[in-house]
Amino acid sequence: MRVVVIPADRGGCGYYRLIWPAQAVSLARPDWQVEVRPPETVQAGFVDGRFVGVQGLPDPGTIDVLVMQRVGTPGQINVARWARERGAAVVVDFDDAMWCIDRDNVAWPSWNMRNPYDQHWKTCDVAAAEADLVTVTTEHLAKHYGKAHRRVDVINNHVPQAAVSLEPLPRSPKDPFTAGWVGFTQTHPGDCEVSGPAARAVLDSGGGLAVVADGPGAAREWGVDEAQVRCIPGQKFGPSYYQSLSVLDLMLVGLKDTPFNRAKSTLKVLEAAAAGVPSVAPDNPPHRDLARRGFPVTLASSPTEWATAAKRHASDPSYSAEQKEATAEAVTGWTIEGNAGLWADAWERAARLRRLR
């Protein structure tokens, strides 16, 4: 089978959902031809606003499955239609609820403008309705993007095996217990505020706080002094990113309760786990499901529960060590390479569905 994959970018979205899975499927199915095409090399052509063709892709008649991501522009949807009309099955992948991005998120304008040549969340809905198969990260996304036909597979986010195998950054025995977070508050406004009781409980227990990327923003939302938060500069996505997480003893995965966040996956918990770091996370369906499957994540649904969970980790060294060991062991079952069959099965299903339509 020949599969051509076009990621949305070369950031986390593109790597987690398409690039790394494509590489893993290529190894797991050596008789398949799996190609990753950089997004900038595939161009839809228009003349006077009329679609005229595609550059950068082989003849769709030679492709069994075309996999695309966050299809939200006129050019992207025309590429998908062009491929389907010529016999290729089309899979579109979504890892976020593009239709309900919070207005205070810096990404809101870029998905809600009315310029006909820009990306828009409504185009994502059209692409999902027309696709042979939709893949998503959560059941919440499945209900929305699969509502037109229910041809949707839920494939949770996983982490690369290489991240699990990295050596942690050196730490001194004198370093305090450290809890923290990774991210930018501009794209996650209000999320850190949810875990504020946990952050303050860590400080009250004699521990420290650290943030990879946006330390000042996290400090403001946690309600603590900026000087109390060690800021680790944002790391280039890759080994250095995962190693930077190893300075933590506990990840605080705060998420405010919004429609956009209800569709979020358990990726931050798994990223931290790849570095051997346990997490306290919101008691929502994706995290509850992860816990039901035996993953050692602590769930919190109130300020008291956040504070209590963090205090236990910070004040009980034996419990903290036990949770670290359990987390490092559990994440080995959540690697992309070890679960390549999830993507391979979905792409095979798309090819079958295309033949039946």
What are the tens digits of pLDDT across the range 123-161? 999 999 999 999 999 999 999 999 999 999 999 999 999
- Residue 50 pLDDT level (bands cut at 50, 70, 90): confident
Q: Helix 340-356 and helix 20-28: axis angle, to 10°?
A: 90
Residues facing residue 44 across a β-bridge: 54
Residues 6 and 24 in one domain: yes
Percent of the chain clearing pLDDT 90 (strictly above): 86
Q: Which residues pair with 6 in a beta bridge?
A: 68
In a shared domain, residues 317 and 180: yes
| Residue 356 CB partners (closer than 8 Å, separation 6+) | none
- The structure tokens 């358990």 sit at 266
Could you give the dihedral angle defined by the CA atoms of residues 88, 9, 160 and 261, in that order, rounded to the nearest 10 degrees? -100
Q: Which residues make Cβ contacts (< 8 Å) with residue 250, sequence separation at least 6?
A: 177, 178, 179, 180, 202, 277, 278, 279, 280, 310, 313, 314, 320
| Of residues 199, 302, 11, the one with CA closest to residue 211 | 199
Instruction: Give the separation between CA 260 and CA 2, rounded to whole angstroms.
Output: 34
Question: Domain residues for 129?
Answer: 2-158+336-356
Under the banding of pLDDT at 50, 70 and 90, the label for residue 8 is very high
Query: In one letter, which amino acid is 316?
Result: D
Residues 175 and 107 in one domain: no
Q: 219 and 312: one domain?
A: yes
pLDDT of 11 above 90: no
Domain of 181: which CATH number? 3.40.50.2000
Output the pLDDT for position 140. 97
Q: Tokens for 219? A: 């400090």
Question: Is residue 103 domain-shared with residue 184, that is, in the same domain?
Answer: no
Helices 303-315 and 196-204 meet at what angle, rounded to 10?
Answer: 30
Q: Which two tokens stand for residue 9?
A: 């970018």
Clarify whether residues 171 and 286 are in a common domain: yes
For residue 116, pLDDT beyond 70: no
Same domain, yes or no: 132 and 26: yes
Tokens of 195: 């875990």
Q: Are 184 and 270 in the same domain?
A: yes
> 23 and 79: one domain?
yes
**142 shares its domain with 187:** no
Does residue 188 sit in the same domain as residue 273? yes
Looking at the structure, tell me whether residues 15 and 132 fall in a common domain: yes
Kindly report the number of other CB atoms within 10 A of residue 130's CB atom: 17
pLDDT category at 113 given cuts 50, 70, 90 is confident
Average pLDDT over residues 47-53: 82
Domain count, the chain: 2
Q: What is the CA radius of gyration of the chain?
A: 21
